[in-house]
Each structure stands twice: as C-alpha cells, then as structure tokens.
Amino acid sequence: TNPQETTDNKLLQICELLKEAIAYYDWVGFYFKNGDKEELKLRSYAGEETDHTIIPFGKGICGQVAVSNKNFVVPDVQAQDNYIACSISVKSEIVIPLFKNGENIGQIDIDSETPDPFTEEDERFLEFVNQEVAKIL
Ligand code: SME
C-alpha cells in the first residue's frame, strides 16, 4: 500500500467513526481542492453514495466554503438557494474548512436528516478534527 492509500484509509475511518458516534451525523465526507483546478474533489466519505464527487468553487455550500474560508452552518437546507441536494432526506448541513499551513485546502462536510442540529460545539469539535487531519496530510 502506498502512502496515499494509507491516508485515504485513515480519512475513511474518521468519517465512519464520526457517523457512528454522533446520531445526527448521517453523511460525513472530506472534500479537497483538486490539484490546480478551481474545484473540490470528494476523497473519503461514510454514508450514501453521492453523485457530487466534483464541486466547482462557488457552487453549493461546499463550493462557497472553498472561497469564503469560513464555517457554514445550514439549519435548513431548503432555505438555501445556492445548495446542491444529495438526498431528499437531508435537512441540514455543516461545512468546516480544513487549513494546512494557513491555506484552505479542503473541508469536512456533514449532512443531517435532523432539522437544525448543529451547535457551536459541533463547530469547535470539527475544527479540532480538521486540525488533527491536517497533520496527517
Ligand atoms: N450539499 C452539498 C453538496 C455535497 S453533498 O452534501 C454530499 C453542497 O451544497 O455543497
């Protein structure tokens, strides 16, 4: 196994752990900037398969975080106009940018089937997860 595969596997385990540990985390994935392109690419996820493996910068919640460098908490996805629906059962979403050496290189994206479940505690926790993940990239 090459180093890339080892990291992919660690990211997958983190996604699975978060999804299993927290009842309202129904889909957990890591997107990263795709090389030199102005787009995100899905690297690892736990939950239902998604068609949205590539997301252009600016599109959807994820694409907006790629350019804003800021956390995006969406209590009700139906109230968002720049939103990419993955599954009709999703009610809410949280996206936290992942920084390496001060640069926004990707994000953790979590979908929930519970309305308005995300608190500042989720934001602080997921910021911590991303900081830890940055160390293995
Ligand atoms: N809802 C996201 C797209 C990714 S799926 O949630 C897996 C968005 O609006 O960017």
Q: Which tens digits make up the pLDDT trace of 27-55?
A: 999 999 999 999 999 999 999 999 999 99
Tokens linked to 101: 């050496």
State residue 77 phi and psi, 5-degree precision: -65, -25
Decide if pLDDT at 91 tops 80: yes
Q: Which atom of ligand 1 is nearest to the CA of 52?
A: 4
Stretch 82-106: mean pLDDT, rounded?
Answer: 97
Task: Summarize pLDDT for 98-121 with one digit per residue, the tens.
Answer: 999 999 999 999 999 999 999 999
101 CB burial (10 A radius; 0-12, 13-18, 19+)? exposed
Average pLDDT over all residues of the chain: 97
Strand partners, 56: 39
- Report CA(7)–ligand 1 centroid distance (Å): 23
- CATH number, domain of 99, equals 3.30.450.40
For ligand 1, atom 1, name the residue with the nearest CA. Answer: 84
Domains in the chain: how many in total?
A: 1
ipTM comes to 0.96
- The alpha carbon of 62 and the centre of ligand 1 are apart by a number of angstroms equal to 6
Question: What is the whole-number distance in angstroms between the Cα of residue 77 and the centre of ligand 1?
Answer: 10
- Cβ neighbours around 123 below 10 Å, total: 14
pTM of model > 0.95: yes
Its domain, for residue 39, covers: 3-135
